[in-house]
A and B are shown apart, each in its own frame.
Chain A
Amino acid sequence: MRNSTKLIILTVIALICILLYGFYDIKGGFDYAFPRRMMRVGAMVITGFAIAYSTVVFQTITHNRILTPSVMGIDSMFEVVQTLIFFFAGSVSIWVVNQYLNFAVSIVAMILFALILYRFLFRADKHPIYLLLLIGMILGTFLGSLVSFLQVLIDPVEYLSLQSRLFASFTNIKVELLYISIGILLLAFAYGYRIMGQLDVMSLGRENAINLGINYDRLVLNVLILSSVLIATSTALVGPITFFGLIVANLSYQFLVTYKHSILILGAGLISVIALVGGQFIVEHIFEMNTTLSVIINFVGGIYFIYLLLKESRAAG
């Protein structure tokens, strides 16, 4: 089967999921329910593509297919910001109640965190990618421990409302925040589209990429910043989805055997949309909202991750 055929099939499945989610079992006011559902779909489509894009490009520059940008500790920063707010200001403070403020604070904190990390490390070393990963991981773990420490001390009632924020959810999204996110992401994608060809060359490794005229270190830095912006925006909008990028990127590599990023990313994006919209449909209509999408994603993602690890270690051994 050709890749274009495969992409058409994915698009059709994604559209079916969207239509099913949009029209299934609409009771009462169609005019009320339908636009609300479509908004959730909008959020799922853009976060799906943001996560797919950032994971695929991150894996290309690190030459590693079991990493996600979340190892850099960007999602942990989101948890830190939210936990600090709940710990010091409380769940009824303006920092929580005003969603714009909360969104702005989270996104700024995450991007700043990433920029400081890169700025600091790109000065210190010439080819810092592994050092960067290690330090990112250590910081991520440190921030994670800090979060659990604060969560132990926090008031249990406050903790419950904090917890609901730390799980990704597409159910309560503000329209205006959605528009802002779409704006940020479109800008990021516009740059992301321009570097697709360079990313293809990147997959030949550092030396071959430089030989072919790629400004390697600068491209790595730009890609890191770009994927941080994408991750930060989608996390601030719906919450962290840790394993998700890993699943969709690897499914896309397996399904579409190619080196072309334009195809891989489109494929990964469509698979994201199918998984998110389809998953949300299952959550709403089969589990009747008794669980959240991110629980299902982390469950399925965890199993797939173990499968990948076993497969890679067998290939290496």
Chain B
Amino acid sequence: MIEIKGLTKRFGNKPVVEDVSIKIQPGAITSFIGPNGAGKSTLLSMVSRLLDADTGEVLLDKNDVKKWKSDEFAKRVSILKQANFLNVRLTIRELVSFGRYPYSKGRLTTEDEQFVDQAIAYMNLTDMQDKFLDELSGGQKQRAFIAMVIAQDTEYILLDEPLNNLDMKHSVQIMKILRKLVDDLGKTVVIVLHDINFASVYSDNIVALKNGRVVKDGPTNEIINSEALREIYDMNIPVQEQNGCRICVYFNSHS
């Protein structure tokens, strides 16, 4: 279980994340939402030990993330950030194989190969697995990186805006895959999302941030309503129900 206690991060004098305390529910999808600059990505980076917090702590199974051995932590928690520029030339399969590094240290066993095959198949990349990443479209590349994280086979999967660069079809595909990872394999997914409708339709819990602080934290149906959304986004957002999904119609709203 991941627990965040009193986490604060400043860049210079500006607090980016301030006194955030939340618990991540295991076996569920938790979305971080909020306006630009709310501190969502910074928070995710601290949870995944890419960034050190100024004060406060992140606990994985009651132990501080900083005290975990780096390779043991990598078998429990994986993180994928937004910008993934590589200056080496890799094929999709080579990239996904890196996901097995925490287990095999570069020497893949047959079991590792199976995980790699599965992850590639999961992301519908089997046909193009030997293509080089620089020959792919933005969306295909993004799916290749997600496949790497799936091959890493961690209990916790943290994703920073994974739907960037993706068209509607692939966005839906990826959210469905994440849902499947949670429902079928019992994984815990934490995801930074910009589109609140994806958060509404696919997540179990939502943490809403604004100016570095948590303004709402709870099950999705408690947060996706006009009242709560006004508090988060300073916008009047009507919510409509469609086939049992709550859809926020914010496109022509006035503040």
| B-chain residues with CB within 8 Å of residue A63 when the two chains form the complex | 87
| Bound form: Cα–Cα A204–B84 in Å | 8
In the complex, chain A residues whose CB is within 8 Å of the CB of B5:
none
**B42-55 interface code vs A (CB 8 A; 1 in, 0 out):** 00000011101000
What is the 8 Å Cβ interface bit string for chain B, positions 17-53, against chain A (1 contact, 0 not)? Answer: 0000000000000000000000000000000111010
Within 8 A of B (CB), among A237-274: 257, 259
Task: Give the distance in Å from the alpha carbon of A73 to the alpha carbon of B72 in the complex.
Answer: 37
Instruction: Provide the residues of chain A in CB contact with B50, threshold 8 Å.
Output: 206-207, 210-211
Cβ–Cβ contact B84 & A201, under 8 A:
no
Asked if residues A211 and B78 are in contact (CB atoms below 8 Å), the reply is yes
**Does B87 lie within 8 Å of A203, measured CB to CB?**
yes
Q: Is A158 an interface residue (CB 8 A)?
A: no
CB distance from B42 to the nearest CB of A (A): 13
Q: With A211-B79, A211-B80 in contact, do A203 and B86 touch (Cβ < 8 Å)?
A: yes
Within the complex, what minimum Cβ distance (angstroms) separates A314 from chain B? 16
| Selected contact of B106 from candidates A197, A207, A215, CB within 8 Å | A197
A214 within 8 A of B: yes
Contact of A214 among B70, B84, B88, B94 (CB under 8 A): B70
Partner of A211, one of B52, B74, B88: B74
9-residue interface stretch from B96-104, B112-120, B170-178, B246-254: B96-104
Give the nearest-CB partner of A59 in chain B. Answer: B87
Could you tell me the distance in whole angstroms from the C-beta of A2 to the nearest C-beta in chain B?
A: 15
Most interface-central of B49, B89, B101, B149 (chain A CB within 10 A) = B101
Chain A residues near B49 (CB-CB < 8 A): 210
Q: How far is the CA of A221 from the CA of B238 in the complex (A)?
A: 54
Q: Residue A138 at the B interface, CB < 8 A? A: no
Q: Which B-chain residue is minimally distant from A210 (CB atoms)? A: B50
Shortest distance between the CB of A131 and any CB in chain B (Å): 16
- Would you call B85 an interface residue if the criterion is a C-beta within 8 Å of the partner chain's C-beta atoms? yes
Distance in Å: Cβ of B152 to nearest Cβ of chain A: 7
Residue of B with least CB distance to A197: B106
Asked if A205 contacts B73 (CB within 8 A), the reply is no
Instruction: Say whether A259 contacts B102, CB under 8 Å.
Output: no
Contact status of A213 and B94, CB under 8 A, knowing A201-B101, A203-B87, A207-B81: no
Structural contact, B86 and A213, CB atoms closer than 8 A: no
Find the A residue at minimum CB distance from B87. Answer: A63
User: Does A65 have its Cβ within 8 Å of any Cβ on chain B?
Assistant: yes
A161 within 8 A of B: no
Residues of B within 8 A of A204 (CB): 86, 88, 95, 98
Residues of the B chain whose Cβ atoms lie less than 8 Å from the Cβ of A284: none
28 cross-chain CB contacts under 8 A: A65-B87, A197-B105, A200-B98, A200-B106, A201-B101, A201-B106, A203-B86, A203-B87, A203-B88, A204-B88, A204-B95, A204-B98, A205-B84, A206-B50, A207-B79, A208-B84, A210-B48, A210-B50, A211-B74, A211-B78, A212-B99, A212-B101, A212-B152, A213-B71, A213-B74, A213-B101, A214-B70, A257-B89
Enumerate chain B interface residues (CB-CB to A < 8 A). 48-50, 52, 70-75, 78-81, 84-90, 94-95, 98-99, 101-102, 105-106, 148-149, 152
The 5 closest A-B pairs by CB, nearest first: A213-B74, A213-B71, A197-B106, A259-B88, A213-B102
Interface residues of chain A, those whose CB is within 8 Å of chain B, are 63, 65, 126, 197, 200-201, 203-208, 210-215, 257, 259
